[in-house]
Amino acid sequence: MAERSPVLVVDDELVFGEIMRQVFEGTEFEVDIYQSAEDALAEFAPGKWHAALLDKNLPGMSGLDLIEKLKAADPDIAAILMTGYASIDTAVSAMRLGAFDYLEKPFGNIALILEKLRRAVARRAIEIANRSLVAELREANVELEKKNEEITVARDELLRQGRMASMGQLASGVAHELNNPLAFVKSNVYIIEEYVEFFQKVIELAVPLKVALDEGPGAVEAAVRAIIGLPFFDELAFFSEDTRNAFKEVKDGLDRAVTIVRRMKDFTYLERTTEEKVDLRECVERAIQIVVGAESTKVKIDVVLVETTLARGFPRQLTQVFINLLLNALSAIEGRTGGEVRVKMHLGDGQVVVDVGDNGRGISPEHLDRVFEPFFTTDESGRGVGLGLNITREIVHRHGGMIRVRSELGGGSVFTVQLPIQN
């Protein structure tokens, strides 16, 4: 026989205790019988008895009070109240105290006691099993949450790597872009240097004028003639004016360089971790500025943008989406005459849709399914690492959106990003 369930019986009538002993003989229950609640409590420990059959009317502490005490110390114990006249009131009080059932005395049907006790013990076992299942589930949940967190960290790391990769792709463009204003600054600084050398000569010759004034008109005239005798003296007014222009151009050039650097720097800063309002048009515009700035003379960019605000999102990540698509579009038209990149944006049906299209080399059908895979790349220059589209899709999904591609080998491609406008 399986292990027997220990059962507590408390009844002040000795005879009743004897009956109980007989009733339980040979059953799966093993009884401990006490005549008072106090005696039973003195021996009680949580888990010691699976069930308790308690007489309501005991000398001293009543059966109801005993139920309350037992349940408080061992909520699993299955208590059954035995009462001489089962009034609804008594039943309700017993249930309220956590009793599982009640029995009327005297017992007409012995089998009923066993039946009720079996149910009570089975119920106890189920509750305990449930509880450990819940605990296991909770543990599994904690484990899952931990895993989830790890995945999020890994994904963020991939995002960061992807951003670095597109930074690398951008770097040559940026170097080129910086070159222009800096060359401009440099040539103006050379011009200013020559002017300053000339102005210095004028100043050096002007200093003795004061002494000459004391010496008399002859000395003044000689000093003045020395000044106006300088080569290019007639250009003095022009030089002065042109110095102003040259300085202005130096400042403009430096401003442009600073803007380019700031744009890149903005982009390399870590993304804030909380969502914020995103002006999607601004993201697209910034991406165009960052990517196309240097190439605008080579590429025809056709842009139609509309005002859109996403209620919640990560603006830098979304900027990254368009940077990646534009970088790909530009590399698709590289070396082609009449290459064009088109960016279109429109609203509809609670969604904002942005198309980034090109008339470049296109994607072969067998590659079309693979372009979003991490590390898939056909770039042989070593600049692309095949993370761009994977990260792009990841970011779009994070924002509850979708990305599609239509392409024809030799006929160009269009990547379509669709994002929900949450209000």
Ligand X SMILES: Nc1ncnc2c1ncn2[C@@H]1O[C@H](COP(=O)(O)OP(=O)(O)O)[C@@H](O)[C@H]1O
**Which residues of the chain form contacts with ligand X (CB under 6 A)?**
324, 328-329, 332, 358, 360-363, 367, 371, 376-379, 384-390, 413
Measured distance CA(379)–CA(19) in Å, rounded: 91
Q: Does 388 bind Mg ion (CB under 5 A)?
A: yes
Segments in 25-109 forming alpha helices (H): 37-43, 63-73, 88-96
Measured distance CA(279)–CA(420) in Å, rounded: 13
Binding flags for Mg ion, 159-188, as an x/- string (CB under 5 A): ------------------------------
CA distances from 316 to 119, 191, 284, 322, 400 (A): 62, 41, 10, 10, 16
CA distances from 283 to 277, 339, 340 (A): 12, 23, 20
- Please identify which residue in the block is written with the tokens 């170097």: 175
Cis check: omega of the bond before 106, within 30 degrees of 0: yes
> Given the complex with ligand X, which of 355 and 358 has the nearer CB atom?
358
Contact region for Mg ion (CB under 5 A) — 24-32, 90-98, 321-329, 349-357?
321-329
Residue 342 near which of Mg ion, ligand X, none (CB within 5-8 Å, type-dependent) = none
> Given the complex with Mg ion, which of 239 and 415 has the nearer CB atom?
415
**Minimum CB separation from ligand X for residue 399, in Å?**
18
**Minimum CB separation from Mg ion for residue 304, in Å?**
23
- Taking CB under 5 A as the criterion, the residue among 5, 35, 328, 392 binding Mg ion is 328
Binding flags for Mg ion, 238-257, as an x/- string (CB under 5 A): --------------------
**Minimum CB separation from Mg ion for residue 384, in Å?**
5
**Minimum CB separation from Mg ion for residue 381, in Å?**
11
Residue 386 near which of Mg ion, ligand X, none (CB within 5-8 Å, type-dependent) = ligand X
- Quickly list DSSP for 89-135: HHHHHHHHTT--EEEESS-S-HHHHHHHHHHHHHHHHHHHHHHHHHH
> Given the complex with ligand X, which of 89 and 380 has the nearer CB atom?
380
Contact region for Mg ion (CB under 5 A) — 30-38, 243-251, 386-394, 402-410?
386-394
The backbone torsions φ and ψ at residue 408, rounded to the nearest 5 degrees and listed phi first, read -140, 130
**Minimum CB separation from ligand X for residue 394, in Å?**
11
**Minimum CB separation from ligand X for residue 378, in Å?**
3
**Minimum CB separation from ligand X for residue 138, in Å?**
40
Contact region for Mg ion (CB under 5 A) — 14-22, 200-208, 385-393, 410-418?
385-393
Closest Cα partner for 120 from 91, 68, 80? 80
**Minimum CB separation from ligand X for residue 308, in Å?**
23
Helix (H, G, I), strand (E, B) or coil at 169: helix
Phi/psi-derived region of residue 412, left when phi > 0, alpha when psi is between -120 and 50, beta in every other case: left
- Please identify which residue in the block is written with the tokens 């534009």: 326
DSSP H or E run through 299: none
Is the distance from CB of 117 to CB of 7 less than 8 angstroms? yes
> Given the complex with ligand X, which of 63 and 412 has the nearer CB atom?
412
Residue 363 near which of ligand X, Mg ion, none (CB within 5-8 Å, type-dependent) = ligand X
Residues that bind Mg ion (CB under 5 A): 328, 388
